[in-house]
């Protein structure tokens, strides 16, 4: 009888023999009583908790970064339109020696370059945040809270 009890402790109820820790993939030893363990131990449970928290933070950061990119793209479109108008106005003036428009075009071009640099920075930040998010959801496994969603 003791052997049967020990066998149940080591393998758990039928079907639990293949249970693996979602963090480290180690076998989970089932207890004789209580709720089935989800993780192999405290370090993996804590790692999964931290990963869930990082996934939630990353999801919020992704939303913020995407909004920033949308705003930057709108600014780029507006600046390009203004730049085109300034260049056309300066070139169509009809006078060979007409000046004064160059400084405005130069200022707009520099502003556009600054916005484009910010757009590139936001895109790199987005790439890093997506990588962090994917790592966090891989570690957290199926234990992500509702609403976190895919990035």
Count: domains in the chain: 2
Domain identity same for 94 and 66:
yes
Asked whether residue 77 falls in the same domain as residue 97, the answer is yes
131: domain range?
49-151
Contact 63, 125 (CB under 8 A): no
DSSP code per residue over the chain: -HHHHHHHHHH-STTGGG-B-TTT-PBPPPPSSSSPPSSSSHHHHHHHHHHHHHHHHHHHHHHHHHHHHHHHHHHHHHHHHHHHHHHHHHHHT--TT--SHHHHHHHHHHHHHHHHHHHHHHHHHHHHHHHHHHHHHHHHGGGPPTT----
Residue 36 and residue 55 share a domain: no
**Do the Cβ atoms of 90 and 98 come closer than 8 Å?**
yes
73 and 140 together in one domain: yes
On whether both 58 and 128 belong to a single domain, the answer is: yes
Do 68 and 33 share a structural domain? no
pTM metric for this prediction: 0.62
> pLDDT truncated to tens, each residue of the chain (151 aa)?
444 444 444 444 445 467 888 888 899 998 899 999 988 999 999 999 999 898 999 999 999 999 999 999 999 999 888 888 887 777 766 555 667 778 888 888 899 999 999 999 999 999 999 999 998 888 877 655 555 555 5
HSE-up of 80 (CA within 13 Å, CB side)?
8
């Amino acid at each position: 009888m003791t052997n049967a009890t020990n066998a149940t402790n080591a393998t758990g109820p039928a079907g639990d023999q293949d249970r693996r820790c979602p963090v480290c993939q180690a076998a989970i030893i089932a207890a004789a009583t209580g709720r089935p363990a989800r993780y192999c131990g405290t370090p993996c449970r804590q790692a999964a908790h931290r990963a869930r928290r990082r996934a939630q933070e990353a999801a919020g950061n992704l939303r913020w970064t995407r909004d920033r990119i949308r705003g930057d793209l709108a600014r780029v479109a507006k600046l390009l339109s203004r730049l085109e108008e300034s260049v056309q106005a300066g070139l169509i003036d009809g006078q060979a020696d007409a000046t004064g428009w160059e400084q405005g075009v130069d200022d707009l071009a520099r502003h556009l370059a600054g916005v484009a640099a910010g757009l590139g920075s936001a895109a790199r930040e987005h790439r890093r945040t997506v990588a962090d998010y994917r790592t966090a959801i891989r570690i957290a496994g199926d234990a992500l809270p509702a609403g976190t969603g895919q990035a």
